[in-house]
Amino acid sequence: MGYRSRSSFKLIQLNRKFQFLQKARALVDLCAAPGGVPIKAIPSVVALIEDITTEKCRQALRKALQTWKVDVVLNDGAPNVGANCVHDAFSQAHLTLMALKLACDFLAKGGTSVTKVFRSKDYQPLLWIFQQFFKKVQATKPQASRNESAEIFVICQDKIDKFFDPKHAFKEVEVQAKAIKDLVHVKKPKAEGYTDGDLTLYHTFSTTAFLKADNPVDFMSKANEITFDNTELESHEATSDEVKECCCDIKVLGRKELRMLLIWRSKRRRYLAKKLKD
């Protein structure tokens, strides 16, 4: 079809679903290096070779755009991976955060940021940050993305500019008055644990608990990660790499992946029940 990179199909599928390119007049594509594939000149495109984590990159973008604000910022970047998966996940999260910082600088009000994120424990904090600067934040995995890949894409639509408006940022009088009122009228919280406002806690459960759960759907809604405490289950041929990858971060899974885990659970329960009978 003449596309210069396989990732073109990811962009086409994302745009088909979220419609963010149709009305875009200016766009910044971060980390557009295709990994060894030469890029020929593209009409009406200015190419910059910079490190997006540096101030030099910001200055180069500002010089190229002049007074323009862009409608879309894309980020398909990924760090060089090594043997330490924890370090790799953090490096990816850091890269995503730097891309968001540039997006906030150059996006017009109501603009869209599309960024790649890998499934890890850093996903939820990143999602919370996205939600502070955009009205609509959705995560998805395009079909062109490999099933075994941990990458997902977060589409942040309708950029909010109120945090950069001094009238909003320094509006403290009403906030202080409400805080004083709340101190005077203290409401006793319900003695029901940490359910209320439990948005940042990271919940890890074992596969044994998952298999024994009376309501597996409710179980997965409360879990961030399911760890393998049974080596036999982990090494079983039915426990694919995709199953293991999905267990690493339940919160970012779509219906397809959740259904796959439920099917895997049913099969493992039958397998263990048969083994006990024998």
Q: Which residues are catalytic?
A: 116
CA-to-CA distance for 251 and 233, rounded, in angstroms? Answer: 22
Tokens 């439990």 correspond to: 198
| Rounded distance between C-alpha atoms, residue 272 and residue 274, angstroms | 5
Angstrom CA distances, 230 to 13, 24, 94, 227, 233, stand at 39, 51, 33, 9, 5
Determine the Cα–Cα distance for residues 75 and 114; give it in Å rounded to an integer. Answer: 6
Amino acid 103 reads A
Beta carbons of 97 and 142 less than 8 angstroms apart? no
Q: Residues in the chain, how many?
A: 278
Nearest to 151 by CA among 168, 134, 139: 139
